[in-house]
Amino acid sequence: MKILVSDKIANEGLEKLRNFPEIESVIKTGLSEEELISEIPSYSALVVRSATKVTKKIIEAAENLKVIGRAGAGVDNIDIDAATKHGIVVMNTPGGNAEAAAELAVALMFATARNVAHANISMKAGRWDKKLFAGIELLDKTLGIIGTGFVGGIVARRAGALGMHVIAYDPYISEEKALEIGAELTGLDELLKRADFISIHVPKNKETVGFINEDTFNKMKRGVFFINCARGGIVKEDALLKALDSGRVAAAGIDVYESEPPVSWDLVKHPKVTATPHIGASTREAQINVAVMVMNQIGTYLTKGEIINSVNKPIK
């Protein structure tokens, strides 16, 4: 059995395959769709991060493929419907990079509240613009978390430790579960009205594309600080730009975009935006975690038939 690794993963993940001597790994990164279509037929498994787009055409050419493993949480770069119809299991590694993404969300809260990035740019330009960068404290502010999965739960706990009041919207958890992470469960409209900071932590799917839009922003408290380290496309960027221009949103910390890299740089270049290039999972620890997890899951499935962290139920 062979595994094709089409995106760079940590060496620790490849070493994990030593536990499965019957499996051979082949590393070929940077393949185009056409090259991957030509390469994939002889493989039992495909391992990707976010760079490889596993399209319907690729899946249709993968006549021996049994499983696709995503070293990370988001699977919006994989055609799940096509994989399901062709009997291919799609696995991800939930929680493997949650700490990294959560820490970046908290970092962007600090950065936007205290104008860290803009003050740094000013200093490097040889200016002492101390009076321009007065900010606000996080202490006693209300943080609204939309989505309380692995990442949202960690953000809630970190914010509580900083003395913030945490409220959360998530239709899939109970009040008891919310209390475990130190959050008060609310409706979406109440959260939008009350929160001084809002951080997005929902997956990208058919239900959440465009979830944060002009109507949503109009319901937010004026002067809110807005953070998105989830996925591009969940937030309508034109609506966020309008909210920034009107002062509805005081500042935004953004790590993900509708197109990556962006087609339009208007949001990134906005003076009230602190932007990072989708680095939420870019820590050494997170990359080791997801690589080890995905290789262990695939090896276990191919040798024992045990499915771990599947996001679909194959038809075949």
- From 60, 180, 214, 260, the catalytic residue: 260
Q: Which of 231, 237, 248, 258 is catalytic?
A: 231
Is residue 260 annotated as part of the catalytic site, yes or no? yes
* Active-site annotation holds for 175: no
* Active-site residue, 270 included: no
Residue in 157, 165, 194, 278 annotated catalytic: 278
Q: What is the DSSP string of the chain?
A: -EEEE-S---HHHHHHGGG-TT-EEEE--S--HHHHHHHGGG-SEEEE-SSS-B-HHHHHH-TT--EEEESSS--TTB-HHHHHHTT-EEE--TTTTHHHHHHHHHHHHHHHHHTHHHHHHHHHTT---GGGG-----TTPEEEEE--SHHHHHHHHHHHHTT-EEEEE-TTS-HHHHHHTT-EE--HHHHHHH-SEEEE----STTTTT-B-HHHHHTSPTTEEEEE-S-TTSB-HHHHHHHHHHTSEEEEEE---SSSS-S--HHHH-TTEEE-SS-TT-SHHHHHHHHHHHHHHHHHHHHH----SBS-----
- Active-site residue set: 231, 260, 278
